[in-house]
Structures are given as C-alpha cells and as structure tokens.
Structure 1
Amino acid sequence: MGLYHPIGHRATLSFLGEVAGPYQHHESALLRALEALEASRAVWREEVASYINARVKQKRLGRRVPSPGDPPPSRMGGHWYASTPDVSRRAALHALKLWERDQRPDSANPEVRSIVRGCIATGGRLTDEQLDIVSRRRTLDEPEEVRWPITLVVSARGVVRA
C-alpha cells in the first residue's frame, strides 16, 4: 500500500473498504482487500511492461520521444487497474467523490469542479461539451490540482488513455 495506491493513498484505502468490507476489524475482509490490491497491481505491472516493450520497439525505429497520448509509467496513476472495467470506473468515481468532498468552495477550478460533479452525478457519462473540456484540459500543462481530477474523470468514463 505504501508503494502502490493507484487512486491516491486515502482513496485507495477507502475504496478497499468499500470492496472488501471493514478490513481494519476483520481478517477475512483484510485478506479480500489485499487480494483486490494485489490483483490491481498485477494488471498495472502488465500495463507498465507493455509500455516498456512498446517504447523499446519505438526507440529501435528511431522514435526517441514518446507519443503525446502515451503516459510514462510514473504517470499511470489515477486509474484502478482491473480486469473488469466496471471496477476501475467505480474506483475512479469513489476517488472523485472524496476529492469533491474535500475541496474548499474557493479552491478548485470552477470548470473542473463542474466536470467532476457532472461525472459523479451521471456515473461517468459526460456531455459532448464536457468531453471537449476534458480533452482540452488533458492536453494543457495543468497543475496537479487540475490534472488529478481530470485523470480520475477519464478513468470514470472507462478510458485510461485517450
């Protein structure tokens, strides 16, 4: 947990409680939580290995700079890696709810906060206008307080990389 917390440390712990039950008090729930976390980490490791293999091939072809849509493994957070897309979507929505709850009214970018609220309200479905905003925000060099919720919104939609 100290090294792998795909949707943030606190959100990962909270989501494990939702998935596995009260793991702080019941050994069986703790084992379910550990199993869920290990399963997610295994899928993540496969994604990282796939990325590394693709980059090696690209470099051999002379493409030294990664494609803009390919995040480096260090930026592959904000997504609960799972073999079932619904689990990833649920995890992202869970993290977005925590993010929204913890924001002070004056601290979050109003446009981002609106997108997050819309995403939570619809279970990850966004309007065309909201999708345009998300797409624009993903291409900008945004600060972490904007980049993180946008990454979670993309994951809640069921899209890891766009």
Structure 2
Amino acid sequence: MSFGAYARRVRDHSLPYGRRINALAGCVERYRPIGYLATFGYLEHIAGPFRREEAALLRALDALLASRDRWLVELAAYAERRRDAKRLGQRVPRKIEPNANSPACWYGDARRAAIYTVGFLLLNQGRVVKADADVLQLASICLETGGHLSAAEHEQVRGLRRHFERLRGVSGWPDVDWPNWQKANQSLWLLHQVRCATAPDDACPGLSWK
C-alpha cells in the first residue's frame, strides 16, 4: 500500500483508533528520514501523545507529510540535475554530490530533529546502536551543548568520518566482516546526525552519507 493510502486511513474516523495508529506506522515505514524508531519518537515529541489523542495523531501525520513534501521537492530537483549531468556525459554521480534518493534528515526541521535523534541513539546505545566510543563521546557533547561543537571537535568529526568510511569499505563485499561493518555504519549514521545537529542552517549536510 502507498504512503498516500496509509495517510488517508490515518484520517479515516470510521476506522478503529488502533488501525489508524497502524496506518501511521505504515506511513513511517515508507518515509523514515531519521530511522523508523527515531521517526516515530520524534513525531510524538513534536505532536504529542498520538497513541491516545486524535488531535496529536493528526498533528503527527501533518508533520510527517510536510517533511515528506519538502523531500519530494528536493528529490525532483536532484533528478533534474542528474538528467542534466547525464546529457553532459557524467553517468555516475560524484561522491561529494548530495544525493536525495535516500532521505537522511528531517526536511524542514533538520537541526532540531537531528538533536533529538542524537539523544535517541545515545539512549539506545547497546540495544539499537553499537557505535564507536569516540563517536559516542562527541555525540554526548553535541547533545549537551545543543549542537554547538568547538573547531577541534568539528575536526574530530571529520577525522572519524574518514576513518569509518575506510573501515566500512574494507569490511564490506566480498568478504564481509559484519562486526566491523556494523560498527562503522552505525558510527557514520551517528556522526551524520551530529553534523546535521551542528549545521549553521536547516540543511542536511552530506546526504550521501551511505
């Protein structure tokens, strides 16, 4: 079922309330810019207790729709840029080119959502997330300061990103070293959220984090 079909079910007053909650879960399954669980948590953070209040449920859906609509605009612009590049002979996107195909921030509220996500990931360290200790320390500083890092800490973020990009590369296909690959991947995801949380504007830096 499509995102739009699930969204209509969320608004359908004739359905039992539990099915409307499940429909919201279907929407989140199809658009989860900060991860499934973090997206659900952030919706409750900004909209209120939607599991028991209809007004909060509708606010949560509206917030998710607004973010998704902004992403679709960016996605269309990215597709147009790729068509232009292909006409010029550039068949493969450059690594530094932001890639909107896989949303990796909350469009329209990237910085605040990233700060929430950093906190969510730290809270779930060891259960959902198993990132590097240095990455966790930087994430804790980011959370404590509300997204304000020193110049030295920004440089540490960049260095850790380079390190874990290399580790993920050598741990991947064809001889996959799953423990190191997962550690690198989860560390990079947390570092990406730190970068979004510390960005000077409401943009998504490094959308091509994968």
- Which TM-score tier does this pair reach, normalised by the shorter chain? 0.7 to 0.9
**In the TM superposition, what is the alpha-carbon distance from 1:74 to its structure 2 partner?**
4.0
Larger relative contact order (CA 8 Å, sep ≥ 6): 1
Which residue of 2 is the match for residue 69 of structure 1?
Answer: 96
Q: What's the Cα RMSD here?
A: 1.9
Which residue of 2 is the match for residue 157 of structure 1?
Answer: 198
Which residue of 2 is the match for residue 134 of structure 1?
Answer: 157
Residues 110 and 76 (structure 1), Cα distance of their counterparts in 2 relative to 1, 3 Å cut: same
- C-alpha contact 1:70 1:161 (8 A) present in aligned 2: no
What is the TM-score when the length of structure 2 is the normalising length?
A: 0.68
**In the TM superposition, what is the alpha-carbon distance from 1:73 to its structure 2 partner?**
3.3
Residues 138 and 68 (structure 1), Cα distance of their counterparts in 2 relative to 1, 3 Å cut: farther
Which residue of 1 is the match for residue 22 of structure 2?
Answer: none
**How far apart are the structure 1 equivalents of 2:77 and 2:151?**
31
Q: Once structures 1 and 2 are overlaid, which stretch shifts more, 6-15 or 59-68?
A: 59-68
The DSSP-based 3-state class of the residue aligned with 2:59 is helix
- C-alpha contact 2:75 2:101 (8 A) present in aligned 1: no
What is the TM-score when the length of structure 1 is the normalising length?
A: 0.87
Which residue of 1 is the match for residue 65 of structure 2?
Answer: 38
Mapped pair 1:98 → 2:159? no
Mapped pair 1:115 → 2:138? yes
- C-alpha contact 1:19 1:33 (8 A) present in aligned 2: yes
**Unpaired segments ≥5 residues, structure 1:** none
**Unpaired segments ≥5 residues, structure 2:** 1-27, 169-183
**Which residue identity lines up with residue 46 of structure 1 in the other structure?**
V
CA displacement 1:130-160 (0-9 Å, x = unmatched): 2112223444244321111011111112341
Task: Give the number of the structure whose alpha-carbon radius of gyration is greater.
Answer: 2
% identity of equivalent residues: 35
Q: How many residues align?
A: 156
- C-alpha contact 1:124 1:156 (8 A) present in aligned 2: yes
**How far apart are the structure 2 equivalents of 1:53 and 1:101?**
39
**How far apart are the structure 2 equivalents of 1:2 and 1:43?**
18
Which residue of 1 is the match for residue 187 of structure 2?
Answer: 146
**Which residue identity lines up with residue 119 of structure 2 in the other structure?**
K
**In the TM superposition, what is the alpha-carbon distance from 1:69 to its structure 2 partner?**
1.9
**How far apart are the structure 1 equivalents of 2:188 and 2:101?**
14
**In the TM superposition, what is the alpha-carbon distance from 1:127 to its structure 2 partner?**
1.2
Mapped pair 1:29 → 2:59? no
**How far apart are the structure 2 equivalents of 1:134 and 1:146?**
11
Residues 138 and 56 (structure 1), Cα distance of their counterparts in 2 relative to 1, 3 Å cut: farther
